Amino acid sequence: MMGWLPAVASLGQSSAAVTSRFLRPLRELLTSPKLSRRFALGLALGLLPCGLIYAALVKSLAAGSPFGGAISMLAFGIGTAVSLLAIGLISTSFRGRLVRWSSQIAAAAVIVMGAVLLWRASMPAVFSAGGHALHGHH
């Protein structure tokens, strides 16, 4: 995405062609200004696999009861909706200015998130036991 590895970039272009063929039937939904078609697109995209949803489902199972699991999934849904709405509003306001660098911004965000996740994985004692390791209590 950053353009640092030309061989990987050409691989991405060929996968984009395959993806384009599969998305062709959705083109009408993607470009339609009608609210009903956008709603249908949202329903269709909701069927895509998502690691975050799987993690939230596992977390909801750990709640120990159907009610606790439902509350956990409701909290995940509300948090996700608010985040996606904020991203949509912000990206719309910067649309013309950021289009040129959108791939690089997305790649940088993925790199930063990966670094944070790797750092957190390498520091399990800091994040376990309710953060007691941060305060010197064992």
Q: Are residues 75 and 113 in the same domain?
A: no
Q: Are residues 27 and 65 in the same domain?
A: no
* Stretch 10-24: mean pLDDT: 62
Q: Are residues 5 and 42 in the same domain?
A: yes
Q: Are residues 1 and 41 in the same domain?
A: yes
**In whole angstroms, what is the distance from residue 1 CA to residue 98 CA?**
15
Q: Is 3 left (phi over 0), alpha (psi -120 to 50) or beta?
A: left
| Domain range for 85 | 51-93
- Got the DSSP string for the chain? --SS-HHHHHHHHHHHHHHHHHHGGGHHHHH---HHHHHHHHHHHTTS--HHHHHHHHHHHTTSSHHHHHHHHHHHHHHHHHHHHHHHHHHHHTHHHHGGGHHHHHHHHHHHHHHHHHHHHH-HHHHSGGGHHHHT--
Q: Are residues 2 and 44 in the same domain?
A: yes
* Stretch 72-80: mean pLDDT: 92
Name the domain count of the chain: 3
* pLDDT, the chain, mean: 76
Q: Are residues 10 and 44 in the same domain?
A: yes
Give per-residue pLDDT as tens, 122-134.
Answer: 876 655 555 555 5
* Stretch 7-29: mean pLDDT: 63
Greater model confidence, 44 or 13: 44
Q: Are residues 84 and 110 in the same domain?
A: no
Greater model confidence, 93 or 129: 93
Give per-residue pLDDT as tens, 20-75.
Answer: 666 676 677 777 778 888 888 878 777 777 888 888 999 999 998 999 999 999 99
pLDDT of residue 3: 64
- What the block records as the tokens of 113 is 């998130």
Q: How many other C-beta atoms lie within 10 A of the C-beta of residue 48?
A: 7
- Say which range, 45-49, 79-83, 98-102, has the weakest mean pLDDT: 98-102
User: Is residue 114 scored above 80 in pLDDT?
Assistant: yes
**In whole angstroms, what is the distance from residue 115 CA to residue 28 CA?**
38
User: Is residue 9 scored above 70 in pLDDT?
Assistant: no
